[in-house]
Amino acid sequence: MDFVIIGGDAAGMSAASRARRQYPDLRITVLEQSHDVSYSACSMPYNIADPQTPMDTLVVRTAAEFIDKHRIDLRTGHKVTAILRDKRQVSGKTADNEPFCTGYDKLLIATGATPTLPDLPGKELLMPLKQLEHGRQIKQAIKDRRAKNAAIMGMGYIAMEMCEALTALGIHVCMVKPSSRFLPWLPKDMAQIVQEEVSKNGVDLHLGTTVTSIEKKQNRVRLHCDNTTLDADLALGATGVRPCSELAQKTGLALSVSDSISVDSYLRTSDPDIFAAGDCGDAFHVVTGKKTWIPLALRANRAGWAVADNLFSEKTSLQGVAGTAVFKVFDLAVARSGLTLSEAKKAGFDPVENRITSWSRVKWQPGAAKIYVNMVGDKKTGKLLGTQMVGTDGVAHRINAVAVALHAGMSVADFIQTDLAYAPPFSPTWDPLLTAAIQLEKKL
């Protein structure tokens, strides 16, 4: 049987590797349009902050390893342009512009997501950060231009990580965003804490500022805005991503939230012989039970595994996602899992939120720091709906307790009874999450 995979990063190579382990005689072909496969994209901002470490150290496994050790027919520089469902074939062109056509019995679309750069004059001067080649280009540009100033369009996860990385290199950073709200998914007082952390590290924030055009001025870049002009040695575009679902749409497969590819819990598309996994596909949200599109690395790898499991029968059903995420910006960690208050309202809940300030450890312990927790519950059912956290200590791993509770469908009252670990170097007797749940339960 021929198993063909379009896309050679997280979901695609996870599926290929697991399929090879389970089915030694399966013919596996991976078609990847770039020349990079299986790399840690999430590590790119941290690699950029380290001039001495090559970007290629982020490659987890090379194409040659997949070919030689795992007998996977991995073809880089192969861009698929069409899926011919009636013929069970995919076609496209190589990097040398040579046409190719490959037949399949089972097909996986793992095309990921692509940056959504704003449609304005000079947008080609913006440097995105999504693929390994983008990381190489940014790192080289910093070196070649001896960059002292950088502008970042956007203030999301990647933008936050990049403003820290560039600042660590001694580069002055300004960030631009048309909305006046900083991190709008956080309550305003918690967002203000993060905003102050960014500002105190020398980053200039231009909230409520729209870039109207970009032009090259000698060896620099000039951003023309509605209320100012910004000059920089390089400009980064970090305004979000969208699913690469064009192939699926062209061939008539059903699409879903944000034009992601619609899949069931077994990762099957509307064609039972075609799967989709990774950032191009949708997922069920464990809190709402509805379809959502949240592109995150763990889901991509897990979905790739599940596709391999389900090639011949329904073996692995994925429960869904809670949207659990964390990012670091300077000394702060910012995390979330589940729904915010506004998201819960849109989903039809009767939500209540409560914010508390606690300590990450027993107050007199070295390293103890304030931790801010906002917890959301449903007034009708008492169900825990989500949590957002900010702090310099103990945030990243605590949010995982919330994720487990959301997957288990726990109520706030149930969560209060959980037996969380306590020792003075790690937590107060009443963990901040338990304190937040107790206070929220009073409102519910």
List, for residues 87-118, the tens digit of each pLDDT value: 999 999 999 999 999 999 999 999 999 999 99
- Tally Cβ neighbours within 10 Å of residue 347: 17
65 phi and psi angles, rounded to 5 deg: -65, -45
pLDDT, position 217: 87
DSSP string, 197-260: HHHHTT-EEEET--EEEEEEETTEEEEEESS-EEEESEEEE-S-EEE--HHHHHTT--B-GGGP
Give the Cα-Cα-Cα angle 126, 128, 131 (nearest 5 degrees).
150
Please state the rounded mean pLDDT for residues 273-280: 98
CA 269, CA 405: separation in Å to the nearest integer? 29
- Which of the pair, 217 or 215, is modelled with greater confidence? 215
Q: Residue 115: helix, strand or coil by DSSP? A: strand
305: CB partners within 8 A, 6+ apart? 14, 15, 18, 316
The token duo for 144 is 């070649």
Q: What is the pLDDT of residues 335-352, one digit of tens each?
A: 999 999 999 999 999 999
Q: In sequence order, what are the residues at sequence separation of 6 or more whose Cβ sits closer than 8 angstroms to the Cβ of residue 279? A: 11, 112, 113, 241, 243, 244, 295, 300
Backbone φ and ψ for 315, nearest 5 degrees, come out as: -100, -45
- Give the pLDDT score at 43: 96
Contacts of 136 by beta carbon, 8 Å cutoff, 6+ apart = 55
The answer to whether residue 71 scores a pLDDT higher than 90 is yes
Do the Cβ atoms of 130 and 9 come closer than 8 Å? no
Residues 158-173: b if buried by 16+ CB within 10 A, e if exposed: bbbbbbbbbbebebbb
* Residue 55 pLDDT exceeds 90: yes
Which token pair is 377?
């519950």
Q: Above 90 in pLDDT, residue 169? A: yes
107 φ/ψ angles, rounded to the nearest 5 degrees? -130, 140
Q: Which of 42, 163, 174, 280 is catalytic?
A: 42
Q: Which residues contact 74 (CB under 8 A, 6 or more apart)?
A: 8, 16, 29, 30, 32, 37, 63, 66, 67
Identify which of 209, 181, 211 has the alpha carbon closest to the alpha carbon of residue 195. Answer: 181
Give the mean pLDDT of 359-377.
97
Q: What is the model's pLDDT at position 356?
A: 98
In whole angstroms, what is the distance from residue 387 CA to residue 146 CA? 42
Amino acid at 35: H
Q: Is-contact 267 281, C-beta < 8 A?
A: yes
Mean pLDDT value across residues 400-413:
98
Judged against a pLDDT cut of 90, whether residue 279 lies above it is answered with yes
The CA-based angle 92-96-102, given to 5 degrees, is 30
Tell me how far apart the alpha carbons of residues 433 and 427 are, in angstroms, rounded to a whole number: 10
Q: What percent of the chain has pLDDT over 90?
A: 98
Q: What are phi and psi of 82, to 5 degrees?
A: -155, 145
Residue 292 tokens, joined? 């959502």
What is the DSSP code (8-state) at residue 4? E
171 close to 148: Cβ distance less than 8 angstroms: yes
Q: How far apart are CA 374 and CA 351, in angstroms?
A: 12
Tell me whether strands 370-378 and 384-391 are parallel, antiparallel or unpaired.
Answer: antiparallel
| 42 in catalytic set | yes
Count CB-CB contacts under 10 A for residue 411: 18
70 neighbors 237 (Cβ within 8 angstroms)? no
Q: What is the pLDDT of residue 218?
A: 85
Which domains does the chain possess? Answer: 2-114+241-309 (3.50.50.60), 117-237 (3.50.50.60), 325-443 (3.50.50.60)
- What's the CA angle centered on 265, arms 16 and 298, to 5 degrees? 55
pLDDT, tens digit, for every residue of 121-156? 999 999 999 999 999 999 999 999 999 999 999 999
Inter-residue contact 277 to 306 (CB < 8 Å):
yes
Report the distance separating Cα 131 and Cα 42, nearest Å: 10
